């Protein structure tokens, strides 16, 4: 039987397992990462390998090639995220791998985890990897690319061709990807804001805003005529932006990340005196159905993005290397 996504699954005798249908095969073991106590480093443990799903189960078994350590992954594993629910917890929100018929895929594993040798996920959350996309790049950067893509697609409305956008935190992994994705969606002007002037200058931006150590000294006047603000910083930077910007047209602000602070103080006068629409973008503000609809186009746009630096680590060493800093980290089983 060939599924709607083009994956061929072979039917065979069935057994019932946790409410889903799987083929009957001898059980074998595999390794996975598990968080057994919120806030503790994941451990490398041996568990039973999941059976091959039956053809009509709506599930796909994937041999994992790599999975990335995103901010979301760390937050979930810490137990501090609103979606952190039960223990043991298998880290990982997405990954790349191969199906039983050898197809290379990107998959979403929210709720089930991807830091494992084999993952079983709903077919609707599995997407062919475009030709030429490096699996390690996809594991590391599709998730941060998702943040700006879904902001544009699900949280911003009525953009006209040639729109302008300000990216707060443009030198972050997500911010840098947002530059190319905004252009692929028709942006005519992209302004980037960050503290590192040299890094900003290397990103091919139309204009830059260097954030000052004393944020209140930052000049945001270049952003007075932008259509969209994508914010990965929040905190004092956004407080200063809202207080000093004087929009010449309706401005759509979308909060995505909190690299500079978790809270802001927003005077009511800002909302009354300026035409600013304030939204957030993340799981919950859009749902997985909307994400699944957008993934093929996102993956195609991602195939044109500039490669980033990736630090590849072995899953068996996850307990010792979990706190590795620096370049984007991916684990391989």
Residue with tokens 């302004």: 191
Q: Where are the beta strands (DSSP E) in the chain?
A: 14-17, 20-23, 29-34, 43-48, 59-68, 94-98, 104-108, 118-122, 126-128, 164-168, 189-194, 207-210, 228-231, 251-255, 276-280, 310-314, 328-332
pLDDT at residue 283 in the model: 83
Q: 331 near 66, Cβ under 8 Å?
A: yes
Backbone angles phi, psi at 271, to 5 degrees: -70, -30
Overall average pLDDT of the 27-39 stretch:
93
Summarised one tens digit per residue, pLDDT across range 261-278 is: 999 999 999 999 999 999
The CA distances from residue 91 to 4, 19, 29, 119, in Å, are 28, 23, 19, 12
Domains of the chain: 14-143+288-332 (3.90.180.10), 156-280 (3.40.50.720)
pLDDT at residue 80 in the model: 85
Examine the pLDDT at 22 and tell me if it is beyond 60. no
Share of the chain above pLDDT 70, in %: 92
| Cα–Cα distance for residue pair 53/62, rounded to 1 Å | 10
245-248 LR contacts (CB < 8 Å, sep 24+): 245/220, 245/274, 246/221, 246/274, 247/274, 247/275, 247/276, 248/224
> Residue 5 burial (CB < 10 Å; 0-12/13-18/19+)?
middle
DSSP SS3 for 164: strand
Summarised one tens digit per residue, pLDDT across range 43-82 is: 999 999 999 999 899 999 999 999 999 988 999 999 988 7
DSSP SS3 for 256: coil
Examine the pLDDT at 196 and tell me if it is beyond 60. yes
Overall average pLDDT of the 148-171 stretch:
97
Nearest residue to 99 via CA among 220, 173, 7: 7
Helices (H), 280-322: 288-302, 318-321
The CA distances from residue 192 to 180, 195, 207, in Å, are 12, 10, 7
> Residue 312 burial (CB < 10 Å; 0-12/13-18/19+)?
middle
* Total-model pTM: 0.83
pLDDT at residue 26 in the model: 55
**pLDDT band at 27; cut points 50, 70, 90:** low
Examine the pLDDT at 5 and tell me if it is beyond 70. no
pLDDT at residue 19 in the model: 45
């Amino acid at each position: 039987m060939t599924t709607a996504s083009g994956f061929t699954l072979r039917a065979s005798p069935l057994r019932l397992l946790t409410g889903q249908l799987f083929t009957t095969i001898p059980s074998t073991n595999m390794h996975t990462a598990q968080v057994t106590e919120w806030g503790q480093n994941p451990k490398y443990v041996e568990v039973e390998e999941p059976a091959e799903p039956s053809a009509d189960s709506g599930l796909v078994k994937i041999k994992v090639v790599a999975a990335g350590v995103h901010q979301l992954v760390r937050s979930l594993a810490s137990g501090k995220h609103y979606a952190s629910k039960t223990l043991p917890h298998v880290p990982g929100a997405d990954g790349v791998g191969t199906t039983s018929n050898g197809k290379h895929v990107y998959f979403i594993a929210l709720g089930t985890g991807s830091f494992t040798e084999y993952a079983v996920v709903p077919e609707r959350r599995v997407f062919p990897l475009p030709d030429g996309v490096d699996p390690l790049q996809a594991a590391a950067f599709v998730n941060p690319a998702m943040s700006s893509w879904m902001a544009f697609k699900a949280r911003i409305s009525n953009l006209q061709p040639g729109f302008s956008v300000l990216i707060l935190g443009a030198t972050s992994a997500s911010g840098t990807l947002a530059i190319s994705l905004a252009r692929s969606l028709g942006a005519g002007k992209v302004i980037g804001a960050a503290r590192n002037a040299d890094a900003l200058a290397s990103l091919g931006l139309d204009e830059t805003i260097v954030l000052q150590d004393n944020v209140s000294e930052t000049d945001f006047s270049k952003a007075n005529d932008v259509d969209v603000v994508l914010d990965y910083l929040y905190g004092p930077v956004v407080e200063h932006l809202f207080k000093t910007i004087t929009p010449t047209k309706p401005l759509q602000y979308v909060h995505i990340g909190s690299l500079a602070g978790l809270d802001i103080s927003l005077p009511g006068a800002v909302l009354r005196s300026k035409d600013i629409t304030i939204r957030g973008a993340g799981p919950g503000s859009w749902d997985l159905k909307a994400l699944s609809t957008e993934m093929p186009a996102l993956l195609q746009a991602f195939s044109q993005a500039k490669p980033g630096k990736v630090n590849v680590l072995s899953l068996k060493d996850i307990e010792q290397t979990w706190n590795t800093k620096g370049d984007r980290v991916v684990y391989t089983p």
